[in-house]
Structure 1
Amino acid sequence: MLKAEYEHAGSDEILSTFEVPLKFVEAEEPAAQPADDVAYTVNVHLAGDTTYSAGSIFCITLPSNPTTGYDWQVINGKEILRGGEAIYVPDAAPEGIYGVGGVDQFWFTPEKPGDYKITLKYMRSWEGEDKAAVVFSQTIHVVEDKDPYQVNGPKTTYKYDSFNINPAAGEQVKIVVDKQLKKDGCSWTAADTNGLIIANYGDNPAVWLVTANKPGDYLFKAEYKKEGDKTAVSSVEIPLKFV
């Protein structure tokens, strides 16, 4: 019970009192929350039922700041790059503020089935490839288009939110598939292969925290399919390099 008294300052005369009952209970353990100390996040937006099909369009978006003298150079994959160069999109900035940076968008369209290696290097052109600050590399596996009559096929985008795309061993990478495909009986599953440690982020089946205990090149792969099916409706492959 909490009891309080109201009186004039400097006087012993009590003008009024009130009492408030209090009940103390044992505190509950807080619910466990997923760790947010990630090196970077990859947001994947899927469109259509196939991730890589001939004639489809996909985009890789990477942070960039040309005021530093660095920009992303396409080392491999120029033959499927739309427009022949990246599209720079600056971040919003207060009037009169410069150098806040933005993103480079690389839009690709593989017209034929096969394997395509994409290599991007964040570098100063006058310093050469060997002194690149960051290297992005991914192999795209392209299959025959299910619908050869579709125009400008489905668009899949991969957006990286940090330059730190080569985290240290033990650091976490967050992978988010931000569009849920609606197929009866299908769900996302990620394979724990090649030493990757993969955990779902909270209750969301399409968000993962991924890490590795040892440095090396790894491939994260997740598939959207029915349990027991050999063929996936859609899939995501993301190369990871831990240093």
Structure 2
Amino acid sequence: MELGQLLVNQFLLILIYDRVIFLLMRKFGILFVMLVVVAACVLAAGCIGTDSGSATPTPTPTPSSEQVTTVMVDKFGTVIPANDKIQFILPSNPTTGYGWIAADVSGLVINQTYEATPVEEGIAGSGGNDIFTITADKAGTYQFVAEYKRSWENETPLETFTQDLIFVDPTTTPSDVPLLSVAFTGKVNPAASEVVKVVTEGNPTTGYEWTITNDTQLKVLNSTFVSSAIPGSTMVGVGGFYEWYVTAEKAGTYEFAAEYKRSWEDEPIGKFFFDITFV
């Protein structure tokens, strides 16, 4: 009985709907009625689905889990006098027989040391870093090249580290510590299209900001500032780290350069540049 009554009710509703549509069409015309029906469907979300083109785009995630190389830059000044020092830190593992060997030292004074990564007692073969501390005989532009290979073999090096260095005239008060230190972690020679993360300290609350300055052919995937403030704290004026994620579409050596300055001032208080070789 209930099913029969339901069918009768549905039939009556259809008749009423058809009659209303007929009367509207006679009074206002078929185009007006069609527009009314479409509008009703949209409001009811029953005829037209969500328009994906108008949706808020999902931000591209920072490729922090994809990078194969991290370059940490410590900076202090804008120029490096010939009697001051530049330092490069490269991952190494002498337990494999491989190590970094300076291949071109013309005009440069190089001190090489090795620092093992601290590990638990009894664990061997973990490796560490070769540290190159470099000065120059006099002002000028130099090239530093190091190869990662076994000293007794003539095979092609596993990796090659190439850097152009610029030293200015010596100062009367050289620093006891390197004025620029660049540390590579992971692959020194990433493959084309692999991601390199570049990190350096800064504090934009002072008005100074790090910006890329050279017309690099590197593709910048992401750049951001990460505050060192404790989440939820009310501390102000806290610095942090500038991070850039870069890659190259083709193999080659590319320069990454940045300077630390206020936007309304001409001269930076800090800058650095180094090369990344993609293979």
Q: Report the TM-score when normalising by structure 1.
A: 0.74
**Deviation of residue 221 (structure 1)?**
1.1
**Deviation of residue 148 (structure 1)?**
2.4
Aligned pairs for 1:198-213 within 5 A: 198-204=220-226, 206-213=242-249
Matched, 1:63 2:88: no
Q: Report the TM-score when normalising by structure 2.
A: 0.66
Aligned pairs for 1:72-221 within 5 A: 72-77=100-105, 79-83=107-111, 86-128=112-154, 131-145=156-170, 147-152=171-176, 154-162=178-186, 164-178=187-201, 180=202, 185-191=207-213, 193-204=215-226, 206-221=242-257
| Partner deviation per Cα, 1:103-155 (whole Å, 9 max, x = no partner) | 11111122521111110100111113x5211100001111235x523453653
Question: How many Å separate the matches in 2 of 1:192 and 1:139?
Answer: 15
Is residue 219–residue 248 contact of structure 2 (8 Å, CA) maintained in 1? yes
Question: How many Å separate the matches in 1 of 2:196 and 2:246?
Answer: 5
Aligned pairs for 1:32-71 within 5 A: 33-36=61-64, 37-47=66-76, 49-71=77-99
Secondary structure of residue in 2 paired with 1:157: strand
* 1:16 corresponds to: none
Which amino acid counterpart does residue 45 of structure 1 have in structure 2?
A: D
Matched, 1:224 2:246: no
| Partner deviation per Cα, 1:9-42 (whole Å, 9 max, x = no partner) | xxxxxxxxxxxxxxxxxxxx99764211101100
Is residue 192–residue 198 contact of structure 1 (8 Å, CA) maintained in 2? no
Question: How many Å separate the matches in 2 of 1:184 and 1:93?
Answer: 39
Secondary structure of residue in 2 paired with 1:67: helix
Is residue 224–residue 242 contact of structure 2 (8 Å, CA) maintained in 1? no
User: Are residues 217 and 82 of structure 1, via their aligned partners in 2, closer, same or farther at CA, if it must alter by over 3 Å?
Assistant: closer
Is residue 85–residue 180 contact of structure 2 (8 Å, CA) maintained in 1? yes
User: Are residues 189 and 151 of structure 1, via their aligned partners in 2, closer, same or farther at CA, if it must alter by over 3 Å?
Assistant: closer
Structure 2: gaps (5+ residues): 1-56, 227-240
User: Are residues 192 and 107 of structure 1, via their aligned partners in 2, closer, same or farther at CA, if it must alter by over 3 Å?
Assistant: closer
**More strand by percentage:** 1
Secondary structure of residue in 1 paired with 2:136: coil
User: Are residues 54 and 212 of structure 1, via their aligned partners in 2, closer, same or farther at CA, if it must alter by over 3 Å?
Assistant: same
Secondary structure of residue in 2 paired with 1:38: coil
**More helix by percentage:** 2
Which amino acid counterpart does residue 76 of structure 1 have in structure 2?
A: D
Structure 1: gaps (5+ residues): 1-28
Question: How many Å separate the matches in 1 of 2:117 and 2:269?
Answer: 35
Is residue 109–residue 134 contact of structure 2 (8 Å, CA) maintained in 1? yes
User: Are residues 38 and 113 of structure 1, via their aligned partners in 2, closer, same or farther at CA, if it must alter by over 3 Å?
Assistant: same
Percent identity between the two aligned chains = 31
| Aligned residue-pair number | 209
Which amino acid counterpart does residue 112 of structure 1 have in structure 2?
A: K
User: Are residues 209 and 51 of structure 1, via their aligned partners in 2, closer, same or farther at CA, if it must alter by over 3 Å?
Assistant: farther
Question: How many Å separate the matches in 2 of 1:184 and 1:202?
Answer: 17
**Deviation of residue 185 (structure 1)?**
4.1
Which amino acid counterpart does residue 143 of structure 2 have in structure 1?
A: K
* Larger RCO, structure (CA 8 Å, separation 6 or more): 1
| Partner deviation per Cα, 1:71-102 (whole Å, 9 max, x = no partner) | 1101123653344xx21111112222211111
Is residue 170–residue 214 contact of structure 1 (8 Å, CA) maintained in 2? yes
Is residue 164–residue 274 contact of structure 2 (8 Å, CA) maintained in 1? no
Higher Cα Rg, which structure:
2
